[in-house]
Amino acid sequence: MAIEQSSAWGVVVNAGCDYTGILDAPNHCAIGGGPGPSVNSYLQGKIAELHAAGKHVYGYVWTGGVPLTAPTAYRSTNDIMNDVWYWYQYSVATGGGPGALVDGIFLDGADRRSTTVDGVAQAESIAFYVAQTTTFREGNLQGWGQSIFNWGNIPHDTSSGNYLMPYLDCTLELIAEPGQEGPEVWNRYVVREDFTNQFSGQFPDFLQGRYYPDHFVAIAHNFDENNNDMHALINIAADWNAGNIFVTERGAPYYDAMPNDNVWSTEEYETSMGFYYAFGADLWDQTYETQANGQCPAWDPENPPTPSYP
């Protein structure tokens, strides 16, 4: 998968299984994505190759319901962190090196409900672990690794209150692990992923104008070149405050190959035209004040929480 950005693009890499490699059917991984139970030398080389080309690379990790066919629980936070650790192994195994260390983790199926303390606390604990286990590169600069939380979709209404705000304020910018000095990292969120024909809606009203669009991603698949309008689609992404978008004509499996050249070039042209967003108060002040004032839930690094299901 590629994520189109204004200045560069990132690639999400997937070895096909989680770190356990457990199968739930012949040749079918129980967790359909992750670093695999051992370092894949082909993928290891591709990560280094993409970095050499100046691209950001994110390792895929599933964080949603398990088992995948009929979920009864969220995947445990410890399992998620083990997958992150196995992505780190790509850089230290034979044939690795700094070029094989991913820039961050794409956290698919991320729990977006922060009506309970565990929802925010889990996101915090995972984000800090990703930050300290991976390395984000921007030119000659290096820093903490970046998390991309794939919410898939967020509610159009506000019936549950402003429950997304603490999730964002407590994880969007990580200043340092509680009680420690350290660098900072800015994370990203997929706020809309859907069929192109069902791509609609907008960022909830209570979040409008509060967050910088570069931290949000929209994903549309099943794009029909003859019947869908790329410009209109990207305008909807802008309504979702998404400064990053990925569009593919492919149906399921959506991400086993790049979009065709026509779709990709049209997307590149339309995203180069620029869009206008409304900004509210200074983002750094909001996230810093929320964290500095102790408004984010505490979590135990030795026993990271897993939210209750569903």
pLDDT of residue 194: 92
Please report the beta strands in the chain, taking only residues with DSSP state E, as ranges in sequence order.
2-4, 9-13, 23-25, 28-29, 56-62, 65-66, 73-74, 104-108, 135-138, 141-144, 146-150, 173-174, 185-186, 188-195, 216-221, 244-247
pLDDT band at residue 4 under the 50/70/90 scheme: very low
Task: Return the CATH number of the domain spanning residue range 2-292.
Answer: 3.20.20
Mean pLDDT of 139-166: 73
Residue by residue, DSSP assigns 55-121 as -EEEEEEE-SEESSSS--EEPPHHHHHHHHHHHHHHHHSTT-SGGGS-SEEEEET-----SSHHHHH
- Which phi and psi (to 5°) does residue 197 adopt? -70, -10
pLDDT of residue 166: 77
* 244-265 pLDDT tens trace: 889 999 998 888 888 999 998 8
**Does the pLDDT at position 114 exceed 80?**
no
Output the average pLDDT for the chain: 82
pLDDT of residue 58: 96
Mean pLDDT of 17-31: 92
pLDDT band at residue 5 under the 50/70/90 scheme: very low
Mean pLDDT of 35-56: 94
**Does the pLDDT at position 181 exceed 70?**
no
pLDDT band at residue 12 under the 50/70/90 scheme: very high
pLDDT of residue 171: 87
Query: For the whole model, what pTM was predicted?
Result: 0.89
Token pair 């260390």 is found at 101
| Domain definitions of the chain by residue range | 2-292
Instruction: Report the half-sphere exposure of 2 (CA within 13 A, side-chain side).
Output: 17
